[in-house]
């Protein structure tokens, strides 16, 4: 199961990061978006990060150019037909994910491995719409992808040992550390992180403290790099709202239920950093 060409679905926060690290690690990479405008925005973000790394002396101009040459953007599924690995990083909604996997299953050869970067959906629900449930798994990256060292490798009931081994090798080739988890909603990290983030919203809602003091408390009191409300803005309120609903549906425990404020922010389009407004305002 040699991987040389990688397809990435979605060039948002996560897809852009995944496409960047795959191209930098030497893989020919094709990233697909829904239209040219969104694609251009995602590719421009990747170029800006690479440019910053060059100006900091972290990356040579030659390596930057080689990475950019390995990275191709497209709005068509056809350009992903000869990929060895397809990594899906579109919106956290099951019908949309099932639709893209159905389309690609008809295009790609049986040998292509499909993975989803989902935060909370069940991998088996996506694998089941394809004819390759043994070559289907979860590959869960963390935000920001170029910085965070972890990847969760999620084994669905049907995933083969060969697929898991190929994903371990791929993760290591990206310079990241894999951990193994079963196909349980939220896997390891979000099972622990999401209730904590939702509790921070509940603290704010109930007037226990200001947003600044909640964030400062966890930064200075527990050494977190970001306070929970800043992290919610960073991950995306729309994404966390979907994750919380999916986790609540699965476990039926109140700690996973999205707090009312999160739902209102979602309805108002206050998606966090990506929309310019969340718990904080961004330029």
Catalytic residue positions, numbered: 119, 140, 152, 190
Of residues 57, 62, 72, the one with CA closest to residue 20: 72
Q: At what angle do helices 228-235 and 211-222 cross, to 10 degrees?
A: 100
**Nearest-CB residue for ligand NAD:** 12
Does residue 229 belong to the site contacting ligand CAA (CB under 6 A)?
no
The interface partner of residue 91, options being ligand CAA, ligand NAD, none and the CB cut-off 5 to 8 Å by kind, is: ligand NAD
Restricted to residues 177-216, the positions that interact with ligand CAA (CB under 6 A) are 190, 193
Query: Which residues contact ligand NAD (rule: CB under 6 A)?
Result: 9-15, 33-34, 38, 89-92, 96, 100, 117-119, 141-143, 235-236, 239, 274
Residue 12 binding partner per list ligand CAA, ligand NAD, none, with a CB distance cut-off of 5 to 8 Å that depends on partner kind: ligand NAD
State which residue, 10 or 258, has the beta carbon closest to ligand NAD.
Answer: 10
Decide if 97 contacts 90 (C-beta within 8 A).
yes
CA dist., res. 141 & res. 258, Å (int): 23
**Residue 96: strand pairing partners:** none
Chain centroid, CA 227 distance in Å: 20
- Show the tokens assigned to 173: 């080739």
In the window 126-145, what residues touch ligand CAA (CB under 6 A)? Answer: 142-144
* Side-chain-side CA neighbours of residue 261 (13 Å): 16
Cβ atoms of 88 and 97 closer than 8 Å: yes
Q: Look at the alpha carbons of 6, 9, 10, 13 in this order and tell me if their dihedral is positive or negative.
A: negative
Q: Which of ligand CAA, ligand NAD, none binds 112 (CB below 5-8 Å, type-dependent)? A: none
- Shortest reach from residue 2's CB to ligand CAA, in Å: 28
Considering the complex, what minimum distance in angstroms separates the CB of residue 16 from ligand CAA?
Answer: 9
**Contact positions vs ligand CAA (CB under 6 A):** 49, 56, 58, 119, 142-144, 146-148, 190, 193, 225-226, 231, 235
């Amino acid at each position: 199961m040699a991987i040389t060409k990688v397809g990435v679905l979605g060039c948002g926060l996560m897809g852009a990061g995944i496409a960047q690290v795959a191209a930098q690690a030497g893989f020919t990479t094709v990233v697909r978006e829904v239209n040219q405008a969104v694609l251009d925005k995602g590719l421009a973000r990747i170029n800006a990060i690479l440019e910053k790394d060059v100006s900091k002396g972290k990356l040579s101009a030659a390596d930057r150019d080689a990475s950019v040459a390995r990275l191709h953007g497209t709005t068509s599924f056809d350009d992903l037909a000869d990929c060895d690995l397809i990594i899906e990083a579109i919106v956290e909604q099951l019908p949309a994910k099932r639709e893209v996997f159905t389309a690609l299953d008809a295009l790609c050869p049986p040998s292509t491995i499909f993975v989803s970067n989902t935060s909370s959906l069940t991998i088996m629900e996506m694998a089941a719409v394809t004819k390759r449930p043994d070559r289907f798994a979860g590959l869960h990256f963390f935000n920001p992808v170029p910085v965070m060292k972890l990847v969760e490798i999620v084994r669905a009931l049907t995933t083969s040992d060969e697929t898991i081994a190929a994903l371990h090798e791929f993760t290591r080739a990206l310079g990241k550390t894999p951990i193994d988890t079963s196909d349980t909603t939220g896997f390891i990290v979000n099972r622990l992180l999401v209730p904590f983030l939702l509790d921070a919203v509940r603290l704010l809602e109930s007037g226990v403290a200001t947003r600044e003091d909640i964030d400062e408390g966890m930064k200075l009191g527990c050494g977190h790099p970001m306070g929970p409300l800043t992290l919610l803005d960073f991950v995306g309120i729309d994404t966390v709202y979907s994750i919380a609903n999916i986790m609540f549906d699965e476990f039926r425990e109140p700690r996973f239920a999205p707090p009312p404020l999160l739902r209102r922010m979602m309805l108002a389009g206050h998606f966090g950093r990506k929309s310019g407004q969340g718990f904080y305002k961004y330029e």
